[in-house]
Homo-oligomer: A and B are copies of this chain.
Amino acid sequence: MSQVEIATPKTRRKAQGVGANEGSIARIRELAQARVAIEGVEPMIDAGRFAVKRLAGETLTVSADIFTDGHEIIDAALITRGAGDADWRETPFTFLTNDRWAASVSFDRPGPYRYSIIAWRDVFATWASDTKKKRNAGVDIALELREGQILLEKAAASGRGSKDDQKRLKALRARIDKLAAKGGGDALYEAMTEADTALLLREVGVRENLSRFEIDVPVWVDREAAGFSAWYELMPRSQSGDVNRHGTFDDVIKRLPDIEEMGFDVLYFPPIHPIGKTNRKGKNNNVTAQEGEPGSPYAIGSAEGGHKDLHPELGSFADFQRLVTRAADHGLEIAIDFAIQCSPDHPWIKEHPDWFDWRPDGSIKYAENPPKKYQDIVNVDFYAGGAIPWLWLELRDVVLFWLDKGVRIFRVDNPHTKPFPFWEWMIAEVRERDPGAVFLAEAFTRPKLMKRLAKVGYNQSYSYFTWRNRKWELREYLTELTTAECAEFMRPNFFVNTPDINPLFLQTSGRPGFQLRLALAATLAGNYGVYSGFELCESEPLAPGKEEYLNSEKYEIRAFDWRAPGNIREDIRFFNRIRRSEPALRDFRNLEFYNFWNDEILYYGRRTPDLSSFLLVMVSLDPHHPQGGHFEVPLWEFDLPDNGSVKVEDLVTGQQFVWSGKVQHWWFRPDERPYAVFRISV
């Protein structure tokens, strides 16, 4: 650090010599190019380290601070480029205020894109503006007109713009030369400053001091299923209708019409691979299974195979492929589980011992969260001796294997206990083959880890929704999800329940609780999910205060009467229907909370930018008592005064009426229905 002390006059003089100037001159040339400052660029995740996400067709609005020194007029363009594009595409920026500019684009196909920004000094527009001011002030502008002509010559010389534009420029210059030859004056001034000239010069004018934002910001574009999907989860082995008979893929095929009728898009199965026998878990997570018990499907791998194999009792690959095809016929896409843990019988343990952790006594390390130990599961070690690259490649190939079988959606078990770099690498590898592959992160962990998983590539994320029941906490959480930076890369999937989560709220709420949680999930998130049994209002816990189901399908085969009385299939159909018919429900970020003067009623709007689909949703959060009160109709969103009127359609009942005035009233009875959905228009 001694060098940074004040230089003596002698060393200073030396530094000014020719040698020192060589580096100085190189730095001048490098820096001088960026005369127009471009900063505060949004959206951008960690300075472009991770991609912003959009769905195909969805709008991406980029904004930035763009300015230069002095008073010259500037202009700017958003440039975008897909992986296979030969060149960048330009979209003009619009000036907002306070040196802020914005431009919007959308991308029509899934895949990787980049955007950046160029900006320049618009010499012709500056000339026109200055000349107008001088003329208005009575200054002689003869010299200015000559300067303007020189700018037109430079524009012609630069050759920018289309052939047609250059032709137009040629004609303009000929006309102007004639006017100048006649002595110039007002006619010349008019020709050079008329609207058409300004428009033409925007296309062909010289872009002086063309500057470029230094980062190419990555954008990942997904197909719609990544951001807008209704999931139905079931255990194939419980679909026979008989607890004594292991369900098969064919049993699942029989259930497809039923699931289609409810209106779901995605049909998701927990692991369908061979289940280990060593330390197999019994009913209700008993540490030892009785003879004949099926074990947990999450203990993957046995003598019958591993992650690239099917549990034999479910059926053959032919059966599975038939299921995939038939599901598609019913508008359903199959999602499977990608759970990296292994049973102690998994073939990898013998074939690739260097993918695992071995203890000094030669035993293998079981999964644990000390002092808890999961005896039916061992974990691979991603940094074990032979894991890099072979384990990573094999895990990637597992996903590619199922992709090959027609599965393009993967729900990933506990991704936060596996290295983030693995996910980043693996997801990128899969997407090179299929940019439509979708990964849902089942991470119920700390907020920053959940966000990181979304950053490294997950298309969808489980959320804290299951534990958010009060009005204030739902507002707070949804406001974060829809407006904080994470909205640019993390898309929640609101599951109302899962095989692991039997929400405490539902254990005492009765049927209205299931209806209201469904209403929230289906209208607050682009992606939402239901684990079968929910439609039957199943909620018996393993023990009081426990968040696990009694007699969970994770450890035994169950049979259900899917039409049992008290089911909420009609509610599910309703929400899945309006999700498809109402464009307002597609982008989860268009959420706006409105006032309902009752702390038990959550009230919010979802709308398209053009207001052509504008829904108001009210949900009573109280499953036990009638709730109601006054609320505000957001007349201001239509620029209407407080005494204005909107047409209303009650989407549940089909009734149509008019709300006149901003304050209206509504009432819920839990024995009817704890939600209301209105479509409003002017």
Contacts and interface: CB of A to CB of B under 8 A. Distances in A.
A421 B68 CA distance: 10
A89 to B, nearest CB: 11
A8 to B, nearest CB: 10
Interface in A344-373: 359-361, 368-371
Nearest to A83: B4
Nearest to A404: B9
Interface residues of A, number: 102
Contact of A3 (B83, B388, B422): B83
A588 interface: no
Contact of A84 (B3, B13, B24, B436): B3
Given A9-B404, A39-B452, A436-B6, A24 B393 contact: yes
Interface in A150-178: 150
B99 A448 contact: yes
Contact of A425 (B31, B39, B403): B31
A5 B110 CA distance: 8
A71 interface: yes
A672 interface: no
A434 B69 contact: no
Given A388-B29, A419-B32, A360 B112 contact: no
A49 interface: yes
A452 B421 CA distance: 36
A182 interface: no
A263 interface: no
Contact of A416 (B69, B403, B434): B69
A428 interface: yes
A298 interface: no
A25 interface: yes
Contacts of A369: 71
A632 interface: no
Interface stretch (A135-143, A602-610, A657-665): A135-143
Given A7-B434, A21-B393, A134-B371, A420 B84 contact: no
A592 interface: no
A34 interface: yes
Given A28-B392, A424-B31, A98 B447 contact: yes
A319 interface: no
Contacts of A215: 47
A574 interface: no
Contacts of A24: 389, 393, 396, 425, 429
Contacts of A227: none
Contacts of A209: 383
Contact of A32 (B7, B67, B368, B383): B383
Contacts of A2: 84
A418 interface: yes
A420 B12 contact: no
Given A214-B49, A425-B28, A452-B39, A371 B3 contact: no
Contacts of A196: none
A82 interface: yes
A242 interface: no
A643 interface: no
A109 interface: yes
Nearest to A82: B1
Contacts of A40: 448
A313 interface: no
Contacts of A12: 400, 403-404, 433-434
B446 A67 contact: yes
A146 interface: yes
Nearest to A86: B1
B98 A421 contact: no
A449 interface: yes
Contacts of A447: 98
A579 B269 CA distance: 71
Contact of A98 (B49, B400, B432, B448): B448
A99 B371 CA distance: 23
A435 interface: yes
Nearest to A371: B137
Interface string A120-154: 00000000011101101101000100110010000
Given A4-B111, A28-B392, A134-B370, 8 more contacts: A3-B83, A27-B425, A67-B446, A68-B420, A130-B370, A133-B370, A137-B371, A208-B383
